[in-house]
A and B are shown apart, each in its own frame.
Chain A
Amino acid sequence: MSDIVNLEHGVDQSAEEYITVMIADQLFGMPILEVQDVFMPETVTEVPLASQDVAGVLNLRGRIVTAIDMRKRLGLPDLEENKPRMAVGIESNGESYGLIIDKVGEVHRLSDETFEVNPANLDPRWVAISAGVHRLDGSLMVVIDVEKVLAQKETVIAA
Chain B
Amino acid sequence: MPMDDLLSEFLTETTESLDVVDMELVKFEQEPNNAGILDNIFRLVHTIKGTCGFLGLPRLEALAHAAETLMGNYRDGAPVTQDGVSLILQSIDRIKEIMGELEANETEPEGSDEDLITQLDRISAGGCASEDDSAPAASAPVEAAPEPKATPSDVAPPAPKAGEATLDELEAAFAAAPSPEGMDVSPEAAAGVMAEAASSSQQVDDAAPEMAAAPEPEAEPEAEPEVAEAPREAPPEAKAASKDGPVKNQSIRVNVETLEHLMTMVSELVLTRNQLLEMVRRLDDSEFKVPLQRLSTVTAELQDGVMKTRMQPIGNAWQKLPRIVRDLANELDKKIDLQMHGADTELDRQVLELIKDPLTHMVRNSADHGLETTADRVKAGKPEIGVVKLSAYHEGGHIIIEITDDGAGLNTEKVKAKIIDNGLATQAELDQMTEAQIHRFIFKAGFSTAAVVTSVSGRGVGMDVVRTNIELIGGIVDVKSETGTGSTFFIKIPLTLAIVSALIVESSGQRFAIPQLSVVELVRTHNNADHRIEMINDTPVLRLRNKLLPLMALSKLLDLQMAENVLTDAVPEAMVPAEAPAIEAAIDEVEADSQEAPAEEVQAMPVPAEEVAGNSEPAKENADDNLFVVVIQVGAQLFGVVVDSVFDTEEIVVKPMSSMLRDISLFSGNTILGDGSVIMIIDPNGIAQSVAQTTSSTDTAEIEDEKHLTANDDTTAMLVFRAASEEPKAVPLSLVTRLEEIDAAEIERANGRDLVQYRGVLMPLVYISEETQRKTEGQQPVLVFSDQERSMGLVVDEIVDIVEDKLNIEIKADDMPGMIGSAVIKEKATEILDIGYFIEQAFDDWMEQREGVSLARGARLLLVDDSAFFRNMLAPLLSASGYSVTLAESAKQALDLKDRGIQFDIIVSDIEMPEMDGITFAETLRGDPVWKDTPIIALSSHTAPHIIERSRQAGFIDFVGKFDRQGLMESIKDCSTQLGAAA
**Which of A45, A79, A95 has a CB less than 8 Å from the CB of B659?**
A95
Contacts A66-B658, A153-B660; A46 near B676 (Cβ below 8 A) = no
Does any Cβ of B come within 8 Å of A78's Cβ?
A: yes
- Residues in B neighbouring A47, C-beta threshold 8 A: 661, 664, 667, 680
Contacts A58-B678, A153-B660; A48 near B559 (Cβ below 8 A) = yes
CA of A26 to CA of B222 in the docked complex: distance in angstroms? 81
CA of A153 to CA of B666 in the docked complex: distance in angstroms? 18
Contacts A49-B666, A59-B676, A59-B677; A82 near B569 (Cβ below 8 A) = yes
Docked complex: A29-81 residues within 8 A CB-CB of B:
41-50, 54-59, 62, 64, 66, 68, 78-79, 81
Contacts A47-B680, A93-B659, A95-B659; A62 near B268 (Cβ below 8 A) = yes
Interface-located stretch among B535-543, B560-568, B722-730: B560-568
- State the B residues within 8 Å of A (CB): 268, 271-272, 510, 558-560, 565-567, 569-572, 575, 655, 658-661, 664, 666-667, 670-672, 676-680
Beyond the given A44-B565, A46-B510, A48-B558, could you list 17 further A-B residue pairs with CB under 8 A, ordered by the A residue number? A41-B567, A42-B567, A43-B567, A43-B571, A47-B667, A47-B680, A48-B560, A50-B664, A56-B678, A57-B658, A58-B678, A68-B660, A78-B566, A82-B569, A95-B658, A97-B658, A153-B660
- Residues in A neighbouring B558, C-beta threshold 8 A: 48-49
A42 touches B670 (CB 8 A): no
Which chain A residue lies CB-closest to B673? A59
Contacts A43-B567, A43-B570; A59 near B660 (Cβ below 8 A) = no
Q: Can you list 13 A-B pairs with a CB-CB distance of less than 8 A?
A: A43-B570, A43-B676, A44-B567, A45-B677, A45-B678, A45-B679, A46-B565, A47-B667, A48-B510, A57-B680, A62-B272, A62-B672, A64-B655
A56 touches B567 (CB 8 A): yes
CA of A43 to CA of B667 in the docked complex: distance in angstroms? 20
Which chain B residue lies CB-closest to A45? B678
Which chain B residue lies CB-closest to A153? B660
CA of A45 to CA of B268 in the docked complex: distance in angstroms? 19
CB distance from A123 to the nearest CB of B (A): 22
Does any Cβ of B come within 8 Å of A150's Cβ?
A: yes
CA of A74 to CA of B575 in the docked complex: distance in angstroms? 30
CA of A32 to CA of B174 in the docked complex: distance in angstroms? 66
CA of A43 to CA of B982 in the docked complex: distance in angstroms? 48
CB distance from A50 to the nearest CB of B (A): 5
- Residues in A neighbouring B268, C-beta threshold 8 A: 62
CB distance from A27 to the nearest CB of B (A): 23
**Which of B271, B571, B660 has a CB less than 8 Å from the CB of A66?**
B660
CB distance from B554 to the nearest CB of A (A): 9
Q: Which among B570, B671, B678, B680 has the highest number of chain A CB atoms within 10 Å?
A: B678
A64 touches B678 (CB 8 A): yes
A59 touches B672 (CB 8 A): yes
- Which 10 pairs across A and B sit closest by C-beta, in order of nearness? A48-B558, A66-B658, A95-B658, A44-B567, A45-B678, A57-B678, A49-B664, A42-B570, A59-B678, A59-B672
- Residues in B neighbouring A50, C-beta threshold 8 A: 660-661, 664
Which chain A residue lies CB-closest to B570? A42
B567 touches A48 (CB 8 A): no
Contacts A43-B677, A45-B679; A150 near B660 (Cβ below 8 A) = yes
CB distance from A3 to the nearest CB of B (A): 20
Contacts A48-B680, A56-B567, A59-B676; A43 near B575 (Cβ below 8 A) = yes
Docked complex: A112-153 residues within 8 A CB-CB of B:
150, 153
- Residues in A neighbouring B679, C-beta threshold 8 A: 45
Contacts A62-B672, A64-B678; A45 near B510 (Cβ below 8 A) = yes
Count A interface residues, CB 8 Å.
30
CA of A46 to CA of B569 in the docked complex: distance in angstroms? 13
CA of A81 to CA of B570 in the docked complex: distance in angstroms? 11
CA of A45 to CA of B509 in the docked complex: distance in angstroms? 11
A54 touches B677 (CB 8 A): no
CB distance from A15 to the nearest CB of B (A): 32
- Residues in A neighbouring B660, C-beta threshold 8 A: 50, 54, 66, 68, 97, 150, 153
CB distance from B299 to the nearest CB of A (A): 14
Which chain B residue lies CB-closest to A55? B567
- Residues in A neighbouring B510, C-beta threshold 8 A: 45-46, 48
CA of A128 to CA of B565 in the docked complex: distance in angstroms? 26
Q: Which among B510, B575, B666 has the highest number of chain A CB atoms within 10 Å?
A: B510
CA of A92 to CA of B672 in the docked complex: distance in angstroms? 20
B664 touches A43 (CB 8 A): no
CA of A95 to CA of B667 in the docked complex: distance in angstroms? 17
CA of A81 to CA of B569 in the docked complex: distance in angstroms? 9
CA of A68 to CA of B667 in the docked complex: distance in angstroms? 19
CA of A78 to CA of B565 in the docked complex: distance in angstroms? 12
Q: Which among A42, A44, A47, A97 has the highest number of chain B CB atoms within 10 Å?
A: A47
- Residues in A neighbouring B571, C-beta threshold 8 A: 43
Which chain B residue lies CB-closest to A80? B566
B572 touches A45 (CB 8 A): no
CA of A128 to CA of B570 in the docked complex: distance in angstroms? 31
- Residues in B neighbouring A58, C-beta threshold 8 A: 678
Which chain A residue lies CB-closest to B671? A64
Which chain B residue lies CB-closest to A83? B566
**Which of B566, B569, B655, B680 has a CB less than 8 Å from the CB of A45?**
B680
- Residues in B neighbouring A44, C-beta threshold 8 A: 565, 567, 570
Contacts A46-B510, A59-B672, A64-B670; A81 near B659 (Cβ below 8 A) = no
CA of A97 to CA of B535 in the docked complex: distance in angstroms? 43
CB distance from A54 to the nearest CB of B (A): 7
CA of A82 to CA of B566 in the docked complex: distance in angstroms? 8
B680 touches A81 (CB 8 A): no
- Residues in B neighbouring A64, C-beta threshold 8 A: 655, 658, 670-672, 678
Q: Which among B560, B659, B664 has the highest number of chain A CB atoms within 10 Å?
A: B659
CB distance from B365 to the nearest CB of A (A): 36
- Residues in A neighbouring B677, C-beta threshold 8 A: 43, 45, 59
CB distance from B271 to the nearest CB of A (A): 6
- Residues in A neighbouring B575, C-beta threshold 8 A: 43
- Residues in B neighbouring A49, C-beta threshold 8 A: 558-559, 664, 666
CA of A90 to CA of B679 in the docked complex: distance in angstroms? 21
- Residues in B neighbouring A43, C-beta threshold 8 A: 567, 570-572, 575, 676-678
Which chain B residue lies CB-closest to A69? B566
B271 touches A62 (CB 8 A): yes
CA of A49 to CA of B510 in the docked complex: distance in angstroms? 13
B661 touches A54 (CB 8 A): yes
CA of A93 to CA of B678 in the docked complex: distance in angstroms? 21
CB distance from A87 to the nearest CB of B (A): 11
CA of A45 to CA of B560 in the docked complex: distance in angstroms? 13
- Residues in A neighbouring B271, C-beta threshold 8 A: 62
CB distance from B650 to the nearest CB of A (A): 15
CA of A82 to CA of B567 in the docked complex: distance in angstroms? 8
CA of A47 to CA of B660 in the docked complex: distance in angstroms? 11
CA of A59 to CA of B570 in the docked complex: distance in angstroms? 13
CA of A68 to CA of B659 in the docked complex: distance in angstroms? 13
CB distance from A2 to the nearest CB of B (A): 15
- Residues in A neighbouring B670, C-beta threshold 8 A: 45, 57, 64
- Residues in B neighbouring A42, C-beta threshold 8 A: 567, 570
CA of A62 to CA of B653 in the docked complex: distance in angstroms? 11
CA of A93 to CA of B662 in the docked complex: distance in angstroms? 14
CA of A58 to CA of B568 in the docked complex: distance in angstroms? 12
CB distance from A84 to the nearest CB of B (A): 9
CA of A47 to CA of B569 in the docked complex: distance in angstroms? 17
Q: Which among A58, A59, A97 has the highest number of chain B CB atoms within 10 Å?
A: A59
CA of A150 to CA of B572 in the docked complex: distance in angstroms? 29
CA of A28 to CA of B571 in the docked complex: distance in angstroms? 29
CA of A42 to CA of B571 in the docked complex: distance in angstroms? 7
- Residues in B neighbouring A56, C-beta threshold 8 A: 565, 567, 678
CA of A78 to CA of B566 in the docked complex: distance in angstroms? 9
Which chain A residue lies CB-closest to B269? A62
CB distance from A21 to the nearest CB of B (A): 18
Q: Which among B268, B510, B567, B666 has the highest number of chain A CB atoms within 10 Å?
A: B567
CA of A71 to CA of B677 in the docked complex: distance in angstroms? 24
CA of A48 to CA of B555 in the docked complex: distance in angstroms? 9
